[in-house]
C-alpha cells in the first residue's frame, strides 16, 4: 500500500491594516526605536483595532484566501484546528466560530493551546489525521490577537507582540512530499516565566485581579530568552541529525519570530546561511501562533516543490519543537 504523507497544498494569511510602530511606542512607554530594533529586530507590528473583532476575524480571511486559491467549497473541509492563546472567548472554541463564519458546515474542530509553538503542534496533529487516511482536507490555522492581552504600560512586553493569522491546507500526498518528521517538547515547570496570572480556574477574574493588571501576558524576558535559544537550536539540530541532513540540504528555516537574536542562534547551530532564513519580525513582531504560517505566506512564491524546510518554534509552557517538511508545490 502506498504510504500517505500530509502535504501543505495552500497557504493563506491576514494581518490587520493598523500599524503600531516603534515610534508610536516611544510615546506610550519609556523606550526607543534603537533599543527595540537592536534587542529584538522589530520595527512595527499590526494591531486589530476595531471594537468587537477577535481572533476569528483574522483567521477567517486567511482561510478564505485558501478557499479562493484552491477553488474549494468550504463544505469540503473535514477539520479545522485553531492554534491560539487569544480565543474569541474562553469557550466555545474559536475553531467552531471560524467554521461557522467560513461556512465549513461539515467540519469538526477544536482549539489547541501551545502558545508560540501552537502552529507547530497543530500542524503535527493535523498531519496525523491525513496520514491515517481518516480525513482528506484539514485546515490548520495559527492566530493571535496579542493586543487583547498585552499591557501597553509594560515596556518589556508591549514592544514585542502583534496581531495576525496564517493558515495552511493539509491534503494527502502519495509522492512522499509534505510533513516528514517532528520533535515536539513541553515542560510545564517553565509555566511561571511566561503566562497570564489570572482569568483561569486557579485565579478567576475579580476586581482585584483586574486592578493588579493580571489579565495581561507576563514574561520574564531574560529567562525565556535563555530557554528559547537553547530549546529551539537543540531540537532543530537534533531533527537534522536524525534525518541525516546538514544545513546544506535545507532550503529554508522557518523560525518562530520572537527575537532576531534567537533566530540567528538557531540558524548558526544548524549551519545555515542567513539567506535561507525567513525573517519578517521587523514588520509583524511576535504574533505568537501566527508567526510560522505568516512566514510561509510571505515566502510562498519563492518556495519550490521538493524544498526541504525546517519549521522551529519556542513558547510559553514551555513548549518547543521543530518539524521537517518537503514542499509539495
Ligand atoms: O515568543 C515566546 C517566547 N518569547 C521569547 O522568546 C522572548 C524572549 N526574550 C526576549 O526576547 C528578550 O528577553 C526581551 C526582548 C524581552 C528583552 O531583551 P533583553 O535583552 O533580555 O533585555 P533585559 O530584560 O535584559 O533588559 C535590559 C535592560 C534593562 O535595563 P537595566 O536593568 O539594564 O538598566 C531593562 O529595564 O533594558 C531595559 N529595558 C528596556 N529599555 C528600553 C527593558 N525593556 C526595555 C524597552 N526599552 N522596551
pTM above 0.85, yes or no: yes
pLDDT at 128 over 80: yes
Q: How far lies 127's CA from each of 37, 74, 137, 320, in Å?
A: 36, 19, 10, 18
**Quick one: pLDDT at residue 220?**
94
pLDDT at 1 over 80: no
Nearest-CA residue for ligand 1 atom 36 is 156
**Quick one: pLDDT at residue 82?**
98
Tell how far the Cα of 276 is from the centroid of ligand 1, in angstroms: 27
From 29, 34, 162, 225, the mutation candidate for ligand 1 (largest count of ligand atoms within 8 A of CB) is 225
Q: Distance between CA 141 and CA 148 in Å, rounded?
A: 19
CATH of domain 5-176: 3.40.47.10
- Average pLDDT value over all residues in the chain: 97
286 catalytic per annotation: yes
Tell how far the Cα of 306 is from the centroid of ligand 1, in angstroms: 39
CATH class in words for 180-326: alpha beta
Residue 78: pLDDT band (50, 70, 90) is: very high
- 270 vs 123, which has greater pLDDT? 123
Q: Distance between CA 311 and CA 22 in Å, rounded?
A: 28
Tell how far the Cα of 293 is from the centroid of ligand 1, in angstroms: 26
Q: What is the mean pLDDT of residues 175-201?
A: 97
Looking at the CA of residue 159, tell me the nearest atom of ligand 1. Answer: 48
pLDDT at 319 over 90: yes
pLDDT more than 70, % of the chain: 100
Can you give the three-state secondary structure of the chain, one letter per residue?
Answer: CCCCEEEEEEEEEECCCCEEEHHHHHCCCCCCHHHHHHHHCCCEEECCCCCCCCHHHHHHHHHHHHHHHHCCCHHHCCEEEEECCCCCCCCCCHHHHHHHHHCCCCCEEEEECCHHHHHHHHHHHHHHHHHCCCCCCEEEEEEEEHHHCCCCCCHHHHCCECEEEEEEEEEEECCCCEEEEEEEEECHHHHHHEEECCCCCCCCCCHHHHHCCCCCEEECHHHHHHHHHHHHHHHHHHHHHHCCCCHHHCCEEEECCCCHHHHHHHHHHHCCCHHHECCCHHHHCECHHHHHHHHHHHHHHHCCCCCEEEEEEEECCCEEEEEEEECCC
195 catalytic per annotation: no
Residue 2: pLDDT band (50, 70, 90) is: confident
Residue extents of the structural domains in the chain:
5-176, 180-326
Q: Distance between CA 137 and CA 73 in Å, rounded?
A: 11
Q: Distance between CA 319 and CA 117 in Å, rounded?
A: 6
pLDDT at 46 over 90: yes
pLDDT per residue over 208-256, tens digit each?
A: 999 999 999 999 999 999 999 999 999 999 999 999 999 999 999 999 9
Q: What is the mean pLDDT of residues 134-158?
A: 98
**Quick one: pLDDT at residue 79?**
98
158 catalytic per annotation: no
Amino acid at each position: 500500500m502506498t504510504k500517505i504523507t500530509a502535504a501543505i497544498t495552500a497557504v493563506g494569511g491576514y494581518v490587520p491594516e493598523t500599524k503600531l510602530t516603534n515610534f508610536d511606542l516611544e510615546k506610550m512607554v519609556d523606550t526607543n526605536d534603537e533599543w527595540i530594533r537592536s534587542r529584538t529586530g522589530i520595527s512595527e507590528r499590526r494591531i486589530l483595532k476595531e471594537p468587537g473583532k477577535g481572533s476569528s476575524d483574522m483567521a477567517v480571511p486567511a482561510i478564505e484566501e485558501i478557499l479562493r486559491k484552491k477553488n474549494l467549497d468550504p463544505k469540503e473541509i473535514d477539520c479545522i484546528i485553531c492554534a491560539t492563546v487569544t480565543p474569541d472567548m474562553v469557550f466555545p472554541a474559536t475553531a467552531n466560530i471560524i467554521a461557522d463564519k467560513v461556512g465549513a458546515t461539515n467540519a469538526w474542530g477544536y482549539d489547541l493551546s501551545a502558545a508560540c509553538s501552537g502552529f507547530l503542534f497543530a500542524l503535527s496533529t493535523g498531519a496525523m489525521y491525513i496520514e491515517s487516511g481518516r480525513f482528506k482536507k484539514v485546515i490548520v490555522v495559527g492566530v493571535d490577537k496579542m493586543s487583547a492581552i498585552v499591557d501597553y504600560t509594560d515596556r518589556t512586553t508591549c514592544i514585542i507582540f502583534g496581531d495576525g493569522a496564517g493558515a495552511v491546507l493539509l491534503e494527502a500526498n502519495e509522492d512522499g512530499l509534505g510533513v516528514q518528521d517532528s520533535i515536539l517538547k513541553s515542560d510545564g515547570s517553565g509555566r511561571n516565566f511566561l503566562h497570564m496570572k489570572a482569568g483561569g480556574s486557579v485565579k478567576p477574574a475579580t476586581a482585584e485581579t483586574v486592578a493588579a493588571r493580571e489579565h495581561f501576558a507576563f514574561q520574564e524576558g531574560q529567562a525565556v530568552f535563555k530557554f528559547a535559544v537553547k530549546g529551539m537550536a537543540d531540537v532543530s539540530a537534533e531533527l537534522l541529525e536524525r534525518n541525516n541532513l546538514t544545513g546544506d540540504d535545507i532550503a529554508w528555516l522557518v523560525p518562530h519570530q520572537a527575537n532576531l537574536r534567537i533566530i540567528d542562534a538557531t540558524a548558526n547551530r544548524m549551519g545555515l546561511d542567513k539567506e535561507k532564513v525567513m525573517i519578517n519580525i521587523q514588520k509583524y513582531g511576535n504574533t505568537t501562533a501566527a508567526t510560522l504560517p505568516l512566514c510561509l505566506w510571505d515566502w510562498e512564491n519563492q518556495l519550490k516543490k521538493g524544498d526541504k524546510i525546517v519549521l522551529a518554534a519556542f513558547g510559553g509552557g514551555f513548549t518547543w519543537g521543530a518539524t521537517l517538511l518537503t514542499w509539495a508545490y
